[in-house]
């Protein structure tokens, strides 16, 4: 396998996988609470190391794999003490590269450290919202945040939406941009593949009857005839849903575009 080649046929490490149960959008009472789900292929969930809490021990990238549960690739790494773990694959990380997680280390793709030790202008991903919690944001294919400033207790990161947000200095982040950048340009190709992904057809509200959707009914092809609504009668487009006094509003330096 070449350095940057994705090993799509590699079987995942058995002890790092669990069977991912299918719920098809049903909640604990058996009723559909999330529509348009079902028909997905059987999957194994890969246990990903989002915390990167094995500090000051070097690891080597053994291979890069495709993960059916996420749109980015994952990298299998082997630490010097023999332990295997999966991490999110950053763009540019190759097979054979060495990576490390520490409070302060070299600025190199795949290395993980606390935010206050990452210089301004560096791209990061897999960022923690609270120290020790594990990376929660900037984990999807092609995503990254830009370190723009350091304050007393906080580091400011510019997110892909344009929002500039404060994060506690002790939160961990990984250097680089998440790989598989071309994912956004991929064409699904056919309806059958969408079903295998677990996504069922979505029917327009105007095509339904008035008992099933507020937009339904009318003779022939008719428009919505009202302000757009969800099937449950709530405003569907344009209405702001974030609370004025949201508990994390003070962390937002600049709102998203």
Q: What are the structure tokens assigned to 164, written together? A: 């500039």
Average pLDDT for residues 191-212, to the nearest whole number?
Answer: 95
pLDDT band at 242 (very low <50, low <70, confident <90, very high): confident
Among 127, 122, 154, 130, residue whose Cα is nearest residue 138:
127
Closest CA to 143 of 89, 94, 86: 89
**Secondary structure letter of residue 197 according to DSSP:** T
Query: Could you tell me the residue ranges of all domains in the chain?
Result: 14-182
Q: What are 61-72's pLDDT values in tens digits?
A: 999 999 999 999
Q: Hey, what's the torsion of the CAs at 234, 235, 239, 244, to 10 degrees?
A: -10
CB 147 within 8 A of CB 120: yes
Q: Answer whether residue 248 shows pLDDT above 90.
A: yes
**CA-based radius of gyration for the chain:** 22
Q: Which DSSP symbol is given to 123?
A: E
Tell me the pLDDT tens digit for each residue of 76-110.
999 999 999 999 999 999 999 999 999 999 999 99
pTM score, two decimals? 0.89
User: Does 2 have pLDDT greater than 80?
Assistant: no
Q: Tell me the pLDDT tens digit for each residue of 112-126.
A: 999 999 999 999 999
For residue 126, what are the β-bridge partners? none
Judged against a pLDDT cut of 80, whether residue 257 lies above it is answered with no
CATH class of 14-182: mainly beta
Sort 224 into a burial class: Cβ within 10 Å, 0-12 / 13-18 / 19+: middle
- State the average pLDDT over residues 243-257: 91
Query: Average pLDDT of 17-39?
Result: 95
Average of per-residue pLDDT values in the chain: 94
Q: Using an 8 Å Cβ cutoff, are 125 and 167 in contact?
A: no
Six token digits for residue 13: 């490490």
pLDDT in tens, 123-145: 999 999 999 999 999 999 999 99
Q: Is the pLDDT of residue 3 over 70?
A: no
Q: How many residues does the chain have?
A: 257
Q: Residue 94: how many CB atoms within 10 A of its CB? A: 14
Evaluate whether 118 touches 147 at the Cβ level (below 8 Å).
Answer: yes
């Amino acid at each position: 396998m070449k350095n940057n080649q994705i090993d799509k046929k590699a079987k995942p490490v058995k002890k790092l996988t669990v069977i991912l149960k299918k719920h098809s959008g049903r909640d604990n009472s058996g009723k559909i609470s999330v529509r348009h789900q079902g028909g997905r292929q059987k999957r194994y969930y890969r246990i990903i190391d989002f915390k990167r809490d094995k500090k000051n021990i070097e690891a080597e990238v053994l291979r890069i794999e495709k993960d059916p549960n996420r749109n980015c690739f994952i990298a299998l790494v082997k630490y010097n003490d023999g332990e295997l773990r999966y991490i999110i694959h950053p763009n540019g990380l190759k097979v054979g590269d060495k990576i490390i997680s520490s409070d302060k280390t070299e600025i190199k793709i795949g290395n993980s450290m606390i935010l206050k030790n990452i210089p301004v202008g560096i791209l990061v991903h897999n960022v923690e919202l609270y120290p020790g919690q594990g990376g929660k944001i900037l984990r999807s294919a092609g995503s990254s945040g830009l370190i723009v400033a350091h304050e007393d207790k906080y580091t400011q990161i510019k997110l892909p939406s344009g929002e500039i947000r404060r994060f506690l200095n002790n939160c961990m982040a990984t250097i680089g941009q998440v790989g598989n950048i071309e994912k956004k340009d991929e064409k699904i190709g056919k309806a059958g593949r969408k079903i295998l992904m677990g996504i069922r057809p979505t029917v327009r509200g105007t095509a339904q009857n008035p008992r099933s959707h507020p937009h339904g009914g009318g003779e022939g092809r008719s428009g919505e005839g009202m302000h757009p609504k969800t099937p449950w009668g709530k405003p569907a487009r344009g209405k702001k849903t974030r609370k004025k006094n949201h508990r994390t509003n003070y962390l937002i330096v600049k709102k998203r575009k």
